[in-house]
Amino acid sequence: MLKNIEELNGMREAGKLASEVLEMIGSFVKPGISTGELDKICNEYIIDIQKAIPANVGYRGFEKTLCTSINQVICHGIPDFNRILKNGDIMNIDVTVIKDGWHGDTSKMFLVGKTQAHNERLINITQECLYKGIEAVKPGARLGDIGHAIQTHAEKNYYSVVEEYCGHGIGKIYHDEPQILHYGLANSGQEIVEGMCFTIEPMINIGSKFTKLLSDGWTVETQDGRNSAQWEHTIYVNESGAEILTLRKEENL
């Protein structure tokens, strides 16, 4: 669904709140804290300070505010008071906030203490993949151009792109059409038009692209046990490109 200016302003506010959750939680991410505690802090911040709604709570039976995906976990890791962060872990925190019915969905990678150089490289290249996907967005381009830009950059760096999970249209509906694949062919797929809102959220693996779903029904891991990274923004397509609705102050774009 295309957004008019009033709807865009609703999306801007939701996106800003989601980005502020990631900014707020950063100083708490340290060895010794549990992902359950991080989740509780964000839940209370969204409800009590932002006067907003944590979209993941109750979504298809998910019970937490955040997804906390550590090391070989690709996405949808469940916060847990028994999972204590340790030095060297890498973790994605993914949060979606609902404000006035509008959704803002974003995630970033956190380094816990000091991590190995190969993990930092994965994290940085994956963020570049997100940015290259965003740069491919403009009216008249096609959705395949986004996936192509991401896949090309990942594979040039000897990484693989997860195929089973994708970005999505977003608005009053959390996961709407169209699907935004993170791989694909240039000049293929649906045309991008002004007024669209969608997420781009590439999951990039050091090893093979294959995934496995754990028996909790949510946690997705790499089949080979090697690490994975993800970054996500919610964007709006304007007359010349993408407006990033979930941009953080630390990003110099």
Please give the residue ranges that form the binding site for Co ion (CB under 5 A): 94, 105, 199, 232
Nearest Cα residue to 189 out of 199, 179, 198: 179
What residue 62 binds from Co ion, ligand MF3, none (CB within 5 to 8 A, per partner kind)? Answer: ligand MF3
Pick between residue 116 and residue 130 the one whose CB is nearest to Co ion. Answer: 130
* Residue in this structure with the two tokens 């169209």, named with its chain if needed: 178
Q: Kindly state the smallest distance separating residue 67's Cβ from Co ion, in Å.
A: 7
117-135 vs 143-156: helix crossing angle, rounded to 10: 160
Minimum distance from residue 230 beta carbon to ligand MF3 (Å): 8
**What is the C-alpha to C-alpha distance for residues 229 and 158, in angstroms, rounded to an integer?**
14
Whether residue 79 is preceded by a cis peptide bond, meaning omega within 30 degrees of 0, is no
Q: What is the rounded CA–CA span in Å between residue 159 and residue 36? A: 30
Distance of closest approach, residue 87 Cβ to ligand MF3, in angstroms:
27
Cβ closest to ligand MF3, residue 131 vs residue 231? 231
- Print burial letters for 52-80: b (CB count within 10 Å at least 16), e (below 16): bbbbbbeeeeeebbbbbbbbbbbbbbbbe
C-beta of 102 vs 115, nearer to ligand MF3 = 102
Rounded least distance, CB 167 to ligand MF3, Å: 8
User: Reduced to 3 states, what is the DSSP secondary structure of residue 56?
Assistant: coil
Q: Which does 84 bind (CB under 5 to 8 A by kind): ligand MF3, Co ion, none?
A: none
Judged by beta carbon, residue 96 or residue 115, the one nearer Co ion is: 96
82 or 199: CB nearest Co ion? 199
Q: Which residues bind ligand MF3 (CB under 6 A)?
A: 56, 59-60, 62, 67, 76, 94, 96, 105, 201, 218, 232
Q: How many CA atoms lie within 13 A of 118 on its CB side?
A: 9
Report the partner that residue 76 touches, choosing among ligand MF3, Co ion, none (CB closer than 5 to 8 A by kind): ligand MF3
d(CA 38, CA 11): 25
